[in-house]
Amino acid sequence: MIRYALKCANAHEFESWFQSASAYDSLRAAGHVGCPLCGDAAIEKVLMAPAVRPARKAAEAAPPAQRLAEPASDIEKALADLRAKVEANSDYVGEGFAAEARRIHAGEAPERSIYGEAKPEEARKLIEDGVPVAPLPFLPKRKAN
């Protein structure tokens, strides 16, 4: 398949795909290539920049694509601020969250703010046992893209 940028005699520009260069030539010669806006069959190719992917090393050296660097809304900004505050003022305990929360609640570990991961049934059991916990509205960085 090949893509051509085309223009009719009325200066309407458009693009179209063809099976091959020779297929374009024969369709054009038979009058089967026409402008989609005005129907003119006097079609010419126009200069077109090729769509070439950069080399792997050039792509790796290029700056990363725009990520969620800037929150798109007030809600996203509030969530980003909450995440920054939690991460700055709490210890990440990972998948050992339920066990560490129990140890802190029982006085077996120093009292401090922690965050981490717990399965739903573990979180439910912590709440039933009176351990103060709350879900956070974001994923840990290791699970976020």
Task: Provide the pLDDT for residue 75.
Answer: 85
Q: How many CA atoms lie within 13 A of 139 on its CB side?
A: 5
Q: Tell me: the pLDDT tens digits for 13-34?
A: 999 999 999 999 999 999 899 9
The CB density around residue 79, as the number of other CB atoms within 10 Å, is 15
Task: Provide the pLDDT for residue 19.
Answer: 93
Lowest mean pLDDT among 19-28, 58-67, 127-136: 58-67
Mean pLDDT across the chain: 85
Domain-by-domain residue ranges, the chain? 2-45, 74-143
Task: Show the CA angle centred on residue 131, arms to residues 129 and 137, nearest 5°.
Answer: 120
Q: Tell me: the pLDDT tens digits for 63-82?
A: 555 444 577 788 888 888 99
Amino acid type, 78: A
For residues 47 and 129, which has the higher predicted lDDT (pLDDT)? Answer: 129
User: Using an 8 Å Cβ cutoff, are 33 and 43 in contact?
Assistant: yes
Q: What is the mean pLDDT of residues 124-145?
A: 83
Torsion of CA 52, 53, 55, 60, to 10 degrees: 150
User: Using an 8 Å Cβ cutoff, are 93 and 100 in contact?
Assistant: yes
Axis crossing angle, helix 120-128 with helix 97-105, rounded to the nearest 10: 10
Q: What is the mean pLDDT of residues 85-113?
A: 94
